[in-house]
Amino acid sequence: MQILFLSGHLPFPQARQAGQKTSYHVCEFLGRRHDVHLLCFGTENQLAVFDRQGMGVFHCWDVVPVSRWTRLRGALSSPRLPLSVAARSSRTFRTKLRRLTESHRFDVVILDHTAIWQYANHLVGGPLCVGLMHDVLTQLWERRADGARDILSRIILSMEAKRVQRWEQRALSKLGLVVAQSDKDSGLLGALNPNIQRFVIQGGWVSVPARSSTSDRATVREPNSIAFWGALDRFENTDAVAFALREIFPRVREAVPSAKFYIAGNSSETVASITDGVPRVIRTGFINNIGEFLSRMQVALLSLRQGAGIKAKTLECMAAGVAVVTTPIGAEGIAARSGVHLLVGETAQELASHTVRLLSRPEEARQMGERARDWFASEYNFEQRMSGLESLLVESRTAARESSGSHTNDVCRDQPNGQYVATKEIE
């Protein structure tokens, strides 16, 4: 099949956000047997760390840079779109998309990230349009409204949540299939549009540390160590860190004075004002081998109050065998049992009590981490889920595919070394 992958972010194997990594591994899987063409946006932070290594999985690829100016221009030029969708409204992107669809006959177009669903209106030739969803935006904005600190903000955010809901309902009607990352999100999409065909890739792609042949009892974990792991250029993660440092960690320190809290993730400078100078709080920055880092921690404290979708950070901690303390939002979409595979608390006091309990009982923490890792290994199989999705895509397009379709005027530029390069044009 000829597959066009349109993404709101730059997917590459060394990416620092879970959504980017999931998108890349979806493309890598499909690229083993099909031609995958990539057209995506790339933020300034993503382009700053972008490495072309691994991009050979794409037949060709092209990147449209995103800046504060392009986001603002998108919002001003598309006032009928919700703000989070209009931020990815781009004339340059539309032009490149038109050139691709004029020169290729695509069997499938995957619109990765909900904001990219707006481009379903610009697809011609009858390809199967598939929405790959990382968050249900309606839920995301409703939570922002509920968490607003003042009445005016709550009113404004609630109005935007309503606009998002109406837009998501219309956008779903333009898709032939939508792919969610949890049964919970699939149910939310079904409520928005009962007629949409849905498929679930359980949890997306999660990095799984190699497990040694020796028992986990041999793993040396730092006593009284706590970790938070997540991309710190995302609001839900900075909010979680602030919540932990202001309301949870002080309670933990009262019971366990030697407790140490590690804040790990890219763009950690965004939380420097609340972490630096705080006793026994360490801001590590981005960590390449997160599995190795987590394997040295006693507890993962994921105090999430915002966000939507399944939390890959929770699954990564469980896959690494570290005991997880989190909120209902941090555990949503994950069918693990609280008290068996992780501990869930709603208030700062509950989260602090769970953390103190596991720090004070390292053997209990070790056993919980082991159960979490075993549960993850038995429940999650990305390759198997992707095989099911691939079969569904092939079956959906087989009857409609034209045997005489050909590819002409290929606009992807092949470089002498066999790699493809992105056109980096600022609008």
Residue 90 shares a structural domain with residue 144 = yes
pLDDT beneath 50: ranges in the chain: 213-215, 402-427
Entry field: residues in the chain = 427
Q: Please count the other Cβ atoms lying within 10 Å of the Cβ belonging to residue 222.
A: 12
Domain extent at residue 115 = 2-206+381-398
**Dihedral sign for Cα atoms in the order 335, 336, 339, 344:** negative
Q: What does the H/E/C string look like for 117-140?
A: HHHHHHCCCCCEEEEECCCCHHHH
pLDDT for 427: 32
Q: Say how many CA atoms lie within 13 Å of 173 toward its Cβ.
A: 5
pLDDT for 420: 37
Residue 265 shares a structural domain with residue 393 = no
Q: State how far the Cα of 12 lies from the Cα of 301, in Å rounded to an integer.
A: 28
Token digits of residue 26: 């979806």
Nearest to 1 by CA among 392, 412, 398: 398
pTM, full prediction: 0.86
> What are 38's strand-pairing partners?
5, 61
Pairing label, strands 2-7, 35-43 = parallel
Residue 262 shares a structural domain with residue 355 = yes
Taking only the tens place, the pLDDT of each residue in 30-78 is 999 999 999 999 998 889 889 888 899 999 999 999 999 999 999 899 9
> What are 426's strand-pairing partners?
none
Q: Say how many CA atoms lie within 13 Å of 221 toward its Cβ.
A: 29
Environment class of 280 (CB within 10 Å of its CB; exposed 0-12, middle 13-18, buried 19+): middle
Residue 196 shares a structural domain with residue 152 = yes
Residue 34 shares a structural domain with residue 98 = yes
pLDDT for 408: 41
Token digits of residue 3: 């597959």
Residue 180 shares a structural domain with residue 228 = no
